[in-house]
Structure formats: C-alpha cells, structure tokens
Amino acid sequence: MKNTFKLFGYSLLLLVLLVSCNKDEDEVTPVPAFTEIEIGSNNSKIAYAGSDLHLDAAIVAPGTIASVRVEIHPESGSGWEFNEVYTEGLAGKKNADFHKHIDIPASAATGHYHFHLVVTDNLGQKAEIDEEIEIKEDATLPSISGLQIEVEDGGNEIHVETTINAPNRIAEVKVEVHGAWEKEFEFDDAAMVGQTSYEFHKHINIAAAPAGHYHLHFTVIDQAGKEREFEGHFDKP
C-alpha cells in the first residue's frame, strides 16, 4: 500500500512539473503598445509648411524596443515624403517617451497625408498607429532672421542673437541645447512678450557642458499658441 501511495505521489509531482513547464512555454511576451499619442499641437493632427510637426508618444515594450519608424506620405499623387528610423535613446528600453519635431519643408504641398508610427521590439513584434494629418499654409507663423550663435568667455557661455517676427505677438522663447550635455532655457521677458518684432539678444551660461559639438533649438511660441522651431550648431572648445 505504501508503495502505491509513493507511486501516486511521484506521478502527481511529475504531472505538476509538466503542467508548470507547459505554462512557462505558453507564456508569451506581450507586443509593444502606444499608451499615449499626440500628433501636432494639442493632438490637432495639423502641421504647417515651413514649420514642424510635433510628435509625442509613450511606448511600452516588454520585449524591449528595437526601433521606432515614422513615415509620412501624400494620400494621393506625388509630393513630400518622410521616412525615418530612430534607435538612439530608445533601443533596449521597455518604456520610453518618443518626442520629435519633424521638419516640414516650405515647399511641401498642402493637403492630406498618411501618417504611420511603428515600434518594433527585439522579438520582431510590432505595434502601429495610422492616422491622417493635414499640412496647411500659415503666413502668421513666427519667423526669425539671422540666427547667430557664438561661443564666448572661454566656452562658458553662448551669445544667441536673432530678429523675431510674430504677427500673433510673442508669448515665449525656448532655447534648448543638447549633445553630451542638455538643458532648456525659457525666456518670457516683459520687454519681449506681446511684441510682433523683437531683437533677441542673450548670453546663456553653458559652463557645465563638456567640450564637444552641440545642437541648439530656438523655438518661438506666439500668443495664438502657434510655435516654430529653428536649429543651429556650435562647438564648445
């Protein structure tokens, strides 16, 4: 009788182990997903020729991110197209905030475009968002003329100067420096806010930045909520 119980016990243990193994084999890594998405300012899905398309998406990828691809093309006929794959700062992560400003040339034809956002994980699984966006013309967008960036004081600061034109009046200016060191500076000087034209002249402290090549993004936001970004470069010795 004891041998019978022992045999039954071993059989039951073997069955439990087999079921456990099968459960492990059946478990699959969930596909990646977008938990939040914003295309255009306030998710308007509208962009303007000569400006940029704001894009922000929260990504969850249990299998870790391999790449993110953005594709834009006209709904019909030929015209401006965009196709870019991004990995820097994303690859290998399970959670990421994908934030980009996609430049739209002034020559881009107005009209409706297909927008595709695809994340692929390291298991080859994909998630895709397909939307329709519209490119419009807007003569009231902010503009600048002659963005000058000079490194001064032995590399401790940059001198940034330009002329801003904003038919809807200036609300704010943001200057973002990124490279081996990143920092954003915001300006809402009383003398500038509310003006349609302004001579922007600032000395910005970059003493904490190591030597190297840097990108500078200069963004003008007007009082209608429209914004336009311009880019420059500099080298810190």
Please determine whether the domains at 33-136 and 143-236 fall in the same fold group of CATH: yes
7 secondary structure, DSSP code? H
If one counts every other C-beta atom within 10 angstroms of the C-beta of residue 27, the result is 7
More confident residue, 52 or 208: 208
Sign of torsion, CA 46 224 37 68? positive
CATH of domain 33-136: 2.60.40.640
Q: pLDDT averaged over the chain?
A: 89
pLDDT reported for residue 166: 97
Distance (Å, whole) CA 114 – CA 197? 36
Q: Which overall architecture, per CATH, does domain 143-236 show? A: Sandwich (2.60)
Least confident of 3-12, 50-59, 191-200: 3-12
Q: Do 58 and 35 contact (CB within 8 A), yes or no?
A: yes
Tokens 């881009």, residue?
Answer: 108
**pLDDT exceeds 80 at position 17:** no
Q: How far is CA 221 from CA 116, 142, 168, in A?
A: 27, 7, 9
Ordered alpha helix ranges (H), 140-204: none
pLDDT tens profile 203-217: 999 999 999 999 999
pLDDT of residue 226 exceeding 90, the answer is: no
Please spell the DSSP secondary structure of 121-146, one letter per residue: ETTS-EEEEEEEEEEE--TTS-EEEE
Q: Where are the domains of the chain?
A: 33-136, 143-236
Query: What is the reported pLDDT for 15?
Result: 52
Q: Are 74 and 81 in contact (CB under 8 A)?
A: yes
Indicate the DSSP class of residue 209: S
